[in-house]
Amino acid sequence: MSAPHIVESTALARPAAEASRASGLWAFLVIVAAMAALPFFASTYTLTLMVPFFALAIALLGFNLLFGYTGLLSFGHAMFLSIGAYSAAVMTSKLGILSFELILLVSIAASVIIAVPVGFLCVRYTRIFFGMLTLAFGMLFHSVLYKFYGITGGDQGMRVLRPLLFGMEFEGGKTAFLTGPFYYYALGLLTALGLLMWRIVRSPFGLHLQAIRENAQKASYLGVEVTRMRLSAYVISGVYGGIGGAILAITIGLADPEIVYWTQSGNLVFMAVLGGSGAFIGPVVGSLAFVLLQDMVMSVTQYWRFVMGAVLILLVVFFPGGLSGIAGGLFTRFKRGS
Amino acid sequence: MSMYVDMILGGVFHAAVVFLVAAGLQLVFGVQKIVNLACGSFYALGAYFGITAVAGAAAMGLPSVVVLPVLLAAGLAIGLIGLPVERLLRTVYRRDESHQLLLTFGLLLVFQDVMRFLWGPTPLTLDNAYLAYGTAEFAGVRVPTYNLLVIAASIAIAAGLGLFLQRTRTGRIIRATAENREMSEGLGVNSNRVFAAVFTVGCMLGTVGGALVVPASAASLEMSVELVVEAFAVVVIGGLGSMRGAMAGALIVGLIRAVAIMVLPEAEILSIYVVVIAVLILRPAGLFGKAMA
């Protein structure tokens, strides 16, 4: 192929070259298939790690629509995780509604209701100002959840009860539920939402977003409604975040304000860059690598922050394209060599 | 009446400390165009190192009146850590903002565990030093003299920094480099040295701020991540890159917190973000910021 260095050489590996390639879809399907086969040979412990991965991967697919494709870096995206998580908590433990389908619908509705006004205010800005405004909204959310003890349970959080899937109740312990029916349910959601995202980024709408990222002024001359497109991207990414948050809360069994602290938003950006924000598959790879790495490091040392921080620094300095950037580089080298 | 004086003095003391950290953030953003999330780590590092230094001074048998100069010296000394950190940041100067933010976020995580390793997970305090200076009568209220000294020190640092940047030759070179790096390099400025010096001074502002606060509040591992958002709030309200803005922003944040604690404690932090969001919506460049594209 010509221009083999594009992915490697630009500072932020640009999706333009990657996004339209079918390899992203294949890589996604391979990971999904591997995850579907995993319960047949992996330990229960590994499976309990995978459900948070599905949740984070969904949230990050949405995050990357905003970050990788539209060029807007949100530093408060954990807000949507908390919207999903607290929706699940209010539905199950306050209202006694256990249907997971209804929980998802409420999470989506709540995300849209919050994302539209917040996004309306935020997308007027770009670059560092967008990041700071989203950070401020995220922390606003955190302090509401943290301080208004009577409604939200304060720092204790709210319990999230086990939901019904398709109206069915499941016997057995919590682990059996999470690694059995809920595992496949969450994987199914990831698959469906991943395929939907694949359609979104390749649709005219997705191409508009990429045009906005490359040159917003030029895009607007060509008739792209920049603000409306950015707002749509923000709302869609918020909905993905809300769904991810609902799944995450059920695996944890608790919704607490920690989920929306700004360092959690920082971790989301970390995962996106770890996987490579320039590739469609990047968010999925990044969240998987992050979950596995964090679990491994935490089991070895109490100084896991040090290790994660050092990994992040090395990554940013030496491999800004992330894991998929490294893989892409190796792939093109291999192709040239043969 | 005295209640209000008390409240205002508390707010101004808090503002004096936050201003130092925010000034460091502004200086680095103004010159290097990097938003440094690790400024919170410098603050915490100054606090821990200050406690160690005061303990060392006490062990040497020095009287407790030297607490303030010892803390200042400790803050300046540990601020030299800015030099190696700047070497690391140099790799991302011409990169995307997300990478700069993430690199400093990584530094924040690393520093947090380095401090956990060196000083342990439990918060450290320095309470007896607080009383070394006694209390003073101010507008009918008894306040710790130490607080007034810190407010005075912060004002002096602000004035000194302003004079340095506006009136001295080095200050002009720094401002020229901030304005246009290529052009000033063409005129013979060694911009690498300017960047290293500016970052170190920015770092020192943070560490001194942290060192000065320990007699009044504990040094803890959480203080770094907590202060980052507050310093962010200050620079957003005041305007990114503006020193006058940092001062106004710090005063606004300090006073709002002081009022909120008295009127509606639940809204202490909330009220700050409400102001931040209001400023960003009504005047995105901040109160003193330059209009940006």
From residue A47, how far is each of A163, A259, B75, B165 by CA, in Å? 19, 22, 48, 58
Structurally, how many domains does chain A consist of? 1
Domain of residue B128, residue span? 17-221
Q: Provide the shortest C-alpha distance from residue B108 to chain A (in Å).
A: 7
Instruction: Count Cβ neighbours within 10 Å for each residue of B154-178 and write b for 16 or more, e otherwise.
Output: beebbeebeeebeeeeeeebbebbb
Answer whether residue B175 is part of any domain: yes
As a whole number, mean pLDDT of residues A193-216 equals 86
Residue range A144-185, pLDDT digits in tens: 888 777 677 777 777 777 777 776 777 777 777 777 788 888
pLDDT at A8: 36
Answer whether residue A334 is part of any domain: no
Does B120 reach chain A within 8 Å, measured CB to CB?
Answer: no
Q: Provide the shortest C-alpha distance from residue A195 to chain B (in Å).
A: 27
Question: Residue A256: pLDDT above 90?
Answer: no
Query: Which of chain B's residues have a Cβ under 8 Å away from the Cβ of A152?
Result: none
Does A310 reach chain B within 8 Å, measured CB to CB?
Answer: yes
ipTM over 0.90: no
Does B106 reach chain A within 8 Å, measured CB to CB?
Answer: yes
As a whole number, mean pLDDT of residues A247-270 equals 84
Between B292 and A334, the higher pLDDT residue = A334
What does the alpha-carbon distance between residue B119 and residue B3 come to, in Å, rounded to a whole number?
37
Instruction: Report B:31-90 residues touching A (Cβ under 8 A).
Output: 35, 37, 88
The pTM (predicted TM-score) of the whole model is: 0.83
Does B97 reach chain A within 8 Å, measured CB to CB?
Answer: yes
Answer whether residue A309 is part of any domain: no
Answer whether residue A28 is part of any domain: no
Closest partner residue to A306 among B92, B109, B269, by Cβ? B109
Residue range B148-159, pLDDT digits in tens: 888 888 999 889
Query: Which of chain B's residues have a Cβ under 8 Å away from the Cβ of A312?
Result: 102-103, 105-106, 109
Q: Which of A73-82, A119-128, A287-296 has the lowest mean pLDDT?
A: A119-128
Report yes or no: B211 and B46 within 8 Å, Cβ to Cβ. Answer: yes
Do B106 and A312 lie within an 8 Å CB cutoff? Answer: yes
For the packed helices A262-275 and A322-337, what is the interaxial angle rounded to 10 degrees? 0
- Please tell me which residue of chain A has the smallest CA distance to B279: A133
Question: Residue A251: pLDDT above 80?
Answer: yes
- C-beta neighbour count of A149 within 10 angstroms: 12
Report yes or no: B130 and B141 within 8 Å, Cβ to Cβ. Answer: no
Query: Which of chain B's residues have a Cβ under 8 Å away from the Cβ of A144?
Result: 270
3-state secondary structure chain B: CHHHHHHHHHHHHHHHHHHHHHHHHHHHHHHHCCCCCCHHHHHHHHHHHHHHHHHHHHHCCCCHHHHHHHHHHHHHHHHHHHHHHHHHHHHHCCCCHHHHHHHHHHHHHHHHHHHHHHHCCCCECCHHHHHHHCEEEECCEEEEHHHHHHHHHHHHHHHHHHHHHHHCHHHHHHHHHHHCHHHHHHCCCCHHHHHHHHHHHHHHHHHHHHHHHCCCCCECCCHHHHHHHHHHHHHHHHCCCCHHHHHHHHHHHHHHHHHHHHHCHHHHHHHHHHHHHHHHHHCCCCCCCCCCC
pLDDT at A192: 92
- Please tell me which residue of chain A has the smallest CA distance to B117: A303
For chain A, what percent of residues have pLDDT higher than 90?
A: 14
**Residue A318: closest CA among B37, B103, B195, B34:** B103
Confidence of residue A241 (pLDDT cuts 50, 70, 90): very high
CB pairs under 8 A between A and B: 131
Between B108 and A125, the higher pLDDT residue = B108
Structurally, how many domains does chain B consist of? 1
Average pLDDT of chain A? Answer: 81
Does B94 reach chain A within 8 Å, measured CB to CB?
Answer: yes
Domain of residue A150, residue span? 36-261
Do A147 and B88 lie within an 8 Å CB cutoff? Answer: no
Q: Which stretches of chain B drop beneath a pLDDT of 70?
A: 1, 127-130, 139, 290-293
Do B270 and A147 lie within an 8 Å CB cutoff? Answer: yes
Does A246 reach chain B within 8 Å, measured CB to CB?
Answer: no
Q: Provide the shortest C-alpha distance from residue B133 to chain A (in Å).
A: 35
Q: Which of A72-81, A242-251, B190-199, B268-277 has the lowest mean pLDDT?
A: B268-277
